[in-house]
Amino acid sequence: MRPFIRSAAIAAMTYCSAVPAALAQGGPFRVDDSGVEAAGTIKLEAFGAFSATRSREREVSFRPGFVATALPFVEFSLGLARGAEARDPEDAKRRFWATRLEPEAKLEVLPVDRHGIGLAVKVGAAWRLSAQRLGADVDPDQPGFRRLETLFSTAIATVQPIEALALNLNLGVERDRIDRRTAPLWGVGVVWRAMADGPVGGTALIAEVSGSDRKRSAVQVGMRQSLSEDRLDLDLVVGRNLTDERATWLIGGVAVRF
């Protein structure tokens, strides 16, 4: 059995290669692509999202990830998100803060660069680590600390008919352990590499729509600028309906690869 595993790993290292950064999604985008980073890569992602509504919701996320040389077809990541929203309609300054830990793993089943079609499966979870309201006690309507909130699994397909264009399709399911219900997840995203690598790197335009059976469809449109031979990505995104509230969001993100 061990020789078979070793041979499979060597074959995967030979044939699996990541989608160019400008054509990959991830970061502040909800719809994912099927590719993983190159074997041995460490990636650090961070983004901040700010709502333009009166409640001024906001979220900051930091997500380190890596692809081990021994498992070049699996990408692991661990997100730490800190979000705030105004729970009191009479006082938008009284914010409810929550911190979540979000581990994820993505398995690349079929590399997109072999036949122009890529397949992957991603699984993950979200744990609430803490919750508090500034200037007051913990919100009594919220569940306790350090609690597993959600589990999810998503099938991902990427179709790349030409080098500069990619279509990403996501279909999955999410289990909400607080509401004790299961909901389908879906998403469609298009990535167009508008400018090939030049003196300032590559530029991609990204548009996507995603949702589930209990929320309005979320829309995101943005631009990704890749620098330093795709080792640095800068994202600027405008989103709509990213939460239950009809709101416009402005999102900025950065990703660094080592």
**HEC readout, 150-209:** EEEEEEEEEEEEECCEEEEEEEEEEEECCCCEEEEEEEEEEEEEEECCCCCCEEEEEEEE
Task: Compute the distance between CA of residue 100 and CA of residue 148 in angstroms, rounded to an integer.
Answer: 9
Q: Which amino acid is at 141?
A: D
The pLDDT > 70 percentage for the chain reads 76
Which tokens in the block code for residue 186?
């879906």
Please give the average per-residue pLDDT across 31-40, as a whole number: 94
Q: What is the pLDDT of residue 143?
A: 47
Task: Compute the distance between CA of residue 88 and CA of residue 114 in angstroms, rounded to an integer.
Answer: 53
The pLDDT > 90 percentage for the chain reads 50
Min mean pLDDT across 10-24, 134-148, 218-232 is at: 10-24
Tell which wins on pLDDT, 119 or 82: 119
Task: Compute the distance between CA of residue 155 and CA of residue 1 in angstroms, rounded to an integer.
Answer: 28
The confidence band for 12, taking pLDDT boundaries of 50, 70 and 90, is: very low
Task: Compute the distance between CA of residue 227 and CA of residue 224 in angstroms, rounded to an integer.
Answer: 10
Which tokens in the block code for residue 63?
């997500």
Cα angle for residues 80, 37, 195 (degrees, 5° grid): 105
The answer, yes or no, to whether residue 221 has pLDDT greater than 90, is yes
Quote the pTM value: 0.81
- Nearest alpha carbon to residue 152 among 166, 138, 173: 173
The confidence band for 217, taking pLDDT boundaries of 50, 70 and 90, is: confident
- Summarised one tens digit per residue, pLDDT across range 169-203 is 999 999 988 888 899 999 999 999 888 766 667 89
Task: Compute the distance between CA of residue 60 and CA of residue 243 in angstroms, rounded to an integer.
Answer: 15
Tell which wins on pLDDT, 149 or 25: 149
Please give the average per-residue pLDDT across 61-69, as a whole number: 95
Please give the average per-residue pLDDT across 35-48, as a whole number: 94
Domains detected in the chain:
2-257 (2.40.160.40)
Q: What is the DSSP track for 49-110?
A: EEE-STT--EEEEEEEEE--TT-TTEEEEEEEEEEEEE--TT-TTSEEEEEEEEEEEEEEEE
Which tokens in the block code for residue 140?
């009594």
Q: Which residue has the tokens 């985008």?
A: 29
Please give the average per-residue pLDDT across 210-217, as a whole number: 79
Min mean pLDDT across 101-115, 164-178, 197-211, 227-241 is at: 197-211
Please give the average per-residue pLDDT across 71-83, as a whole number: 94
Please give the average per-residue pLDDT across 60-65, as a whole number: 94
Distant-in-sequence, close-in-space partners of 118: CB < 8 Å, separation ≥ 6: 19, 33, 34, 35, 108, 110, 111, 112, 156, 157, 158, 159, 160
- Summarised one tens digit per residue, pLDDT across range 105-156 is 999 999 998 889 999 999 999 998 876 554 445 444 454 457 888 999 999 9
Whole-number Cα distances in Å, 156 to 150, 152, 215, 226: 19, 13, 21, 23
Query: Coil, strand, or helix at residue 40?
Result: coil
The answer, yes or no, to whether residue 22 has pLDDT greater than 90, is no
